[in-house]
């Protein structure tokens, strides 16, 4: 008798768990498709940076498309909350002033990187024929302020 009750309990438990599993997996099928919605991707890139940027309540998030013609550059600058950059088109070199050192990194279309808050950078278009086009998200911009802070040449990257 005890064995029969155990078998029945085990059967009910098994059926109950299977039902719960089926119900939980059926929920995504209940998702609704968008109606009268257009989604236009502005850019996409594979992140090559190590690190994160923090968002902060009460600050602005700014999204910009930046174009620099061949031979041009961003000039030395920083960002109060950093930046997430996707290279939509072109080739560029990011020159970073780190202490008394210059660190240069090359990027091409389809790649992405971050600039950390307060980091000094000069982004140079290394192409002779193609503008670079960036889609940039600037988090933690103080309300009413610029997402970019112009900086003097730190003198760490010779020839710039």
Which residue ranges make up each domain of the chain?
46-150
pLDDT in tens, the chain (160 residues): 566 666 656 555 565 555 555 555 655 567 888 898 888 888 888 988 887 888 889 999 999 999 999 999 999 999 999 999 999 999 999 999 999 999 999 999 999 999 999 999 999 999 999 999 999 999 999 999 999 999 999 999 987 6
CA distance linking residue 139 with residue 79, whole number of Å: 9
Tell me which CATH homologous superfamily contains domain 46-150. Jelly Rolls (2.60.120.10)
Judge whether 39 and 86 are in contact, CB under 8 Å: no
């Amino acid at each position: 008798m005890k064995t029969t009750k155990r078998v029945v309990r085990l059967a009910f438990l098994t059926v109950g768990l299977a039902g719960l599993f089926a119900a939980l997996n059926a929920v995504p099928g209940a998702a609704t498709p968008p109606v009268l919605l257009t989604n236009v991707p502005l850019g996409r890139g594979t992140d090559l940076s190590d690190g994160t940027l923090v968002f902060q309540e009460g600050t602005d998030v700014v999204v910009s498309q930046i174009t620099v013609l061949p031979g041009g550059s961003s000039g030395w600058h920083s960002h109060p909350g950093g930046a997430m950059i996707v290279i939509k088109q072109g080739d560029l070199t990011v020159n970073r002033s780190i202490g008394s050192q210059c660190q240069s990194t090359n990027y091409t279309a389809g790649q992405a990187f971050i600039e950390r808050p307060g980091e000094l950078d000069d982004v140079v278009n290394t192409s002779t024929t193609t503008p670079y086009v960036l889609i940039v998200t600037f988090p933690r911009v103080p309300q009413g302020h610029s997402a970019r802070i112009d900086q003097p040449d730190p003198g760490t990257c010779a020839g710039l």
